[in-house]
Amino acid sequence: MAALAPVQVSPLIKFGRYSALLLGIMWGSHRFRVNKAAEDSWRAEEAERKVIRDAQKAEEKLRFNREELLYLAKQAGVKVPPNF
């Protein structure tokens, strides 16, 4: 089979391709900036909620540990002071 000669691409088609490429890059850059701003604000809010959630989790863990110790003390027959 004979090798085919390269086809001459129309300058209009070349212009259209490069225009689409540049517009795509610009659109992607714009969307990245918009999404990054939204994501940054969401991450800041999530960090504030995490502090609150961690404090609640620690408080719940302390309460559970205290209840468990009181239950174990009761099962062992140990007198627990009322302010414990």
Evaluate if residue 1 carries a pLDDT over 80.
Answer: no
User: Which token pair is 64?
Assistant: 């559970």
What percent of the chain lies above the pLDDT cut of 90?
Answer: 81
Is the pLDDT higher at 47 or at 84? Answer: 47
Those residues whose C-beta lies under 8 Å from the C-beta of residue 50, and which sit 6 or more positions away, are none
Alpha carbon distance 38, 76 (integer Å): 56
**Residue keyed to tokens 């850059």:** 29
CB proximity list for 84: less than 8 A, separation 6 or greater: 70
- Tokens 């989790």 sit at which residue? 57
Q: How many angstroms from the chain centroid is the CA of residue 58?
A: 23
Residue 3 confidence class, pLDDT cut points 50, 70, 90: confident
How would residue 36 be classed by pLDDT, with cut points 50, 70 and 90? Answer: very high
Average pLDDT of the chain, as a whole number: 93
